[in-house]
Amino acid sequence: MKSVFYISILWICSLLCSSYAWSQPATNNPQTLEFIDGIEIIRSQAPQLNSTSIPSTKTKSSTPLTIESFQSIQFKYGQLFNVEIEQIENISLYQFIEEWLDTKYRMGGKSKSGIDCSGFAGVLYETNYHQLLPRTAREQHHTSEKIEMTDIKEGDLVFFNTRGGVSHVGVYLHNRFFVHASTKEGVMISNLDEPYYKKTFISAGRLPTQ
């Protein structure tokens, strides 16, 4: 009987110990703690991205460019010239062109009631670059320095032989487009690759002081 009693006591103690072990939180398990610590270490020691990983757009030294940063006139001419909007920087120049587009041609004219090619180039330069050009296309060609088309930039002059010698002038814009006063259409924008202008093109020029 005593042996049965002791066996019963041992069996009950064993059950109580097992019940106590199952009732403890899982965090008392050394393996579980190691796993949780591992997650915490990964989170706390995650590598930080430095300035060379992802360029910051929110720094004091730079302002991010957004759609709202540009004006409608930049979208218009960027699309017309097929260039990036950022290249249309001289807003006042394109506002000037907008005001003069479709002004009729008049030989010797220099106003919005009528203007010729050299007169338009002169008014554009005086208004936007504060420079005075000679009155005729021939004189403007003589005054300017010839430049290669690979070096041409916005504001340079482009000269044509439309009726013998240097007889027509325009102002270069972007991507082979230029603005000028045409005898038939008045102030307009054309492209150097159009057959007529491709055939009559002489050279591009830049004023020495520009």
Instruction: For residue range 157-170, list pLDDT tens digits in order.
Output: 999 999 999 999 99
How many whole angstroms separate alpha carbon 168 and alpha carbon 165? 9
Which of 15-19, 54-58, 193-197 has the highest mean predicted lDDT (pLDDT)? 193-197
Give, rounded to a whole angstrom, the gap between the first and last alpha carbons of the chain: 120
How many whole angstroms separate alpha carbon 123 and alpha carbon 105? 14
Q: Which of 17, 117, 141, 174 is catalytic?
A: 117
How many whole angstroms separate alpha carbon 133 and alpha carbon 14? 109
pLDDT value for 107 = 97
Burial status of residue 173 (CB atoms within 10 A of its CB: 0-12, 13-18, 19 or more): buried
The domain 90-206 is placed in CATH, from the list 1.10.10.10, 3.30.1490.190, 3.90.1720.10, 3.40.50.1860, at 3.90.1720.10
| Residue among 102, 104, 89, 112 at smallest CA distance from 174 | 89
Strand partners, 201: 160
Work out the percent of the chain whose per-residue pLDDT is above 90. 65
Strand partners, 188: 180
Residue 31, pLDDT > 80, answer no
Spatial CB neighbours of 66, under 8 Å, sequence gap ≥ 6: none
Question: Is 13 among the catalytic positions?
Answer: no
Q: Which of 130, 141, 174, 180 is catalytic?
A: 180
Q: Are the C-beta atoms of residues 133 and 122 closer than 8 Å to each other?
A: yes
The token duo for 31 is: 């393996």
Q: Give the pLDDT band of residue 14 (cuts 50, 70, 90).
A: low
pLDDT value for 135 = 97
Residue 171, pLDDT > 50, answer yes
Question: Is 168 among the catalytic positions?
Answer: yes
Alpha helices in the chain (DSSP H): 2-23, 30-44, 72-81, 91-100, 117-128, 137-143, 195-200
Q: Which of 130, 141, 168, 174 is catalytic?
A: 168
Is the pTM value of this prediction over 0.75? no
Q: How does pLDDT run across 90-132, given as a tens digit for each residue?
A: 999 999 999 999 999 999 999 999 999 999 999 999 999 999 9
| Domain segments of the chain as ranges | 90-206
How many whole angstroms separate alpha carbon 11 and alpha carbon 9? 5
Question: Is 117 among the catalytic positions?
Answer: yes
The token duo for 43 is: 């989170």
